Amino acid sequence: MKSEEMKSRSEILSSTRTLVLKVGSTVLASPQAGVNMRVLGVIARQVAWLRARGIRVVIVSSGAIAAGRMKLDFGKKPLTLAMKQAAASVGQSRLMWGYERAFSPHRLMVSQVLLTPRDVVRRSRFTNLERTLETLLALGVVPVVNENDSVATEEIRFGDNDRLSALVSGTVKADFLLILSDVDGLYTSDPSRNPNAIPIPYVEKVTSDIESLAGISRSGLGTGGMASKVLTARWANRWGLPVGIVNGRKGAPVERFFEGGGTLFFARKKLWAAKKVWIGFFSEPSGTLVLDEGAMKAISHGKSSLLAGGITRHEGVFESGEVVRLLSATGHEIGRGVCRMPSSEVALWTRRKSSGERSADSWPLAVHRNTMVLWEREEE
């Protein structure tokens, strides 16, 4: 491994204040007990190792359905949604009991946090979640986060815990996300099929070539576990969050990653503030504002707010304070922002604009630059 790549890892370790550790079900699963206590013991020791270095840790853990499946004697048969929900309900307590037992020797307290997408996409609930997790971390507790699978439906869920781990990272303002998997990281080809596959220790940017190695098609859809992890890394890198993947079943995985194991997906830009991460990536826009060329130029460098005079039309019905998509005249999404007026008021100003009024002093503020995220500028 090149010295600059090792420097990146050591710098991440030394500068990280909060780390999110994602533990996959393939790492935790045990055919006999549902939850592998040996692996949980290793994870507890690794968290204690991080805590000794002053790093706060949030765990995003899968494994509830697998634990409940074993307890309910479901075997390996395919499960209906109702059966998955039942397994999650039974398995979640067993999973948390395992964490309690593993972390107790290190005098570390754990807590359970179960989430649904509504807890993230709605600003008020996101703020409450942010406050809760920050309080737990300030008290020295290790939060263990999981999707609330006992009530989640196929239509309303995060999709997988790789994506959830990135959402949690943005919520707690984490400096690094480390994903524990059942493989050693990204390879030049599938190592289970090609014994000559070469590990890739460092990815400066997730390109189409990198995506293809993980089985991600041109449509952006992936196949298999590594595809989900690379898509998560690409997503998180966009707001400045570096991501690591390492085998969670070998040795001391966290230490091994920072010693050069696994794959580091480096983030080239500065970490965004949590509010901008929410606006750009977690929120559910309520409408759309289409901008003229003058407005596009004014806001393009991030130093100007959007005035109502720069809006040619709007789409959707929204209230003041809701997130809207910002579109160019050609229909390309250039960013998102919090609109400071309802759609009814936007309509009034766009009618004034179309009637020929051009007095810049009379245009009210529509989206402040501090609550605006621009894709082109951020992707440069």
What's CA 191's distance to the chain center, in Å? Answer: 27
Residue 359 assigned to a binding site = no
Which helix (H) or strand (E) is 3 found in, with range? helix 3-15
- What's the CATH class of domain 285-379? mainly beta
227 annotated as a binding-site residue: yes
In which element (H, E) is residue 263 found?
strand 263-265
Q: Is 173 annotated as a binding residue?
A: no
Mean pLDDT of 286-312: 90
State residue 211 phi and psi, 5-degree precision. Answer: -60, -40
pLDDT at 220: 46
Give the separation between CA 268 and CA 245, rounded to whole angstroms.
18
Q: CA-CA distance, 376 to 380, in Å (whole number)?
A: 6
Q: What is the average pLDDT across 190-216?
A: 86
Q: What is the CATH number of domain 3-276?
A: 3.40.1160.10
Higher pLDDT, 190 or 174: 174
Q: 165 among the known binding-site residues?
A: no
175 is in an annotated binding site: no
All residues at 6 or more sequence positions from 261 whose CB lies less than 8 Å from its CB, including other chains: 184, 185, 246, 247, 253
From residue 179, alpha-carbon distances to 62, 184, 264, 274, 368 in Å are 12, 11, 10, 21, 36
CB 65 within 8 A of CB 276: no
Q: What is the largest CA-CA distance in the chain?
A: 75
Per the listing, tokens 């196949």 go with 223
Where along the chain do the CATH 3.40.1160.10 domains lie? 3-276
Residue 224 annotated in ligand binding = yes
* pLDDT confidence of residue 221: 42
Q: Which range (25-39, 47-61, 352-366) has the least confidence? A: 352-366
Q: Check whether 75 is labelled as a binding-site residue.
A: no
Domain with CATH 2.30.130.10 in the chain: 285-379
Using 50, 70 and 90 to split pLDDT, how confident is the model at 218? very low
